[in-house]
Amino acid sequence: MMKMQRGTDYIYQLIKQGEHQQQDFKFEISDARKIAKSLSAFSNTDGGRLLVGVKDNGKIAGVRSEEEIYMIEAAAKLYSKPEIHCNMHLYEIEGHQVLEVVIPKGESAPYYAKDENNHYKAYIRIKDENILATPVHLRLWQSQYAQKGVFVRYSTPEQHLLHFLSQNEKISLTQCCKQIGISRPKAIDTLAKFIHFGLIEPIYIEKKFFYRLCPPSPTL
């Protein structure tokens, strides 16, 4: 059994923060695949932690059995690709056990989670949600532009995209194909490249991803 630690104030301070981009509460662990999804999202974004044995409203219910720890280990090793390394700490809080699972930001994104159909999918964390990564995210992670030291030279479609965004608040991947007149793979590659170079940024609105020009840096 994992060594118990004392840290009542520490855990209560974490719970007080509520769920956010780097923290998620789990009342119980009953499905390793679902936990793999959370591990993928944290690893692909900014890292974070799970507090197991804590309800969504912040009430401490406690870890029910050691089996929950084994499920997390299975999620990290058997249902994640590549394997996700996380640290677990067990705390005794007023007669209940709370498990803290710390997931660092990964160095080899994308990290995938195996779903119920044995398909591997990558997720990202936005606020308190785990969101399926888009083809643009995947292309961005797989990009080798930095290593190549490419010279930025805009083609006509790329110039059209920048002009469109200078006149419009945002654009979706589908709109990019239609408005700019390029194929979907080319649109994915272009959006990923522009994100990489800090020209545009993805935004998530009403369950959909859009892309907009990055705001100008504040002047000193």
pLDDT digits (tens, 9 = 90+) for 85-120: 999 999 999 899 999 999 999 999 999 999 999 999
Q: Which two tokens stand for residue 144?
A: 């080798």
pLDDT value of residue 101: 98
Q: How far is Cα 13 from Cα 16, in angstroms, rounded to an integer?
A: 5
In whole angstroms, what is the distance from residue 190 CA to residue 198 CA?
A: 12
Would the pLDDT of 185 be above 90? yes
Q: Please give the DSSP secondary-structure letter assigned to residue 19.
A: S
Dihedral angle computed from the Cα positions of residues 185, 191, 192 and 196, in that order, rounded to the nearest 10 degrees: 160
More confident residue, 104 or 220: 104
Output the CATH code of domain 4-126.
3.30.950.30
The three-state (H, E, C) secondary structure of 132-182, written as one string: ECCHHHHHHHHCCHHHHCCCCCCCHHHHHHHHHHHHCCCECHHHHHHHHCC
Provide mean pLDDT across the span 163-186: 97
Looking at domain 135-213, its CATH architecture is: Orthogonal Bundle (1.10)
User: In the chain, which residues fall in CATH 1.10.10.10?
Assistant: 135-213
Range 164-178 average pLDDT = 97
Q: Look at the pTM and tell me if it is higher than 0.75.
A: yes
Residues 6 or more apart whose Cβ sits within 8 Å of residue 68: 28, 29, 52, 99
CATH 3.30.950.30 segments of the chain: 4-126
Q: Which two tokens stand for residue 176?
A: 């990019």
Q: Which of 41, 99, 103 is nearest to 65 (CA)?
A: 99
Q: Rounded to an integer, what distance in angstroms lies between the CA atom of residue 161 and that of residue 147?
A: 25
Tokens of 126: 């936005």
Predicted pLDDT at 149: 55
Q: What is the largest CA-CA distance in the chain?
A: 66
Q: Is 20 left (phi over 0), alpha (psi -120 to 50) or beta?
A: beta
Is residue 1 scored above 60 in pLDDT?
Answer: no
Q: Which amino acid is at 57?
A: N
Q: Residue 145 pLDDT > 50, yes or no?
A: no
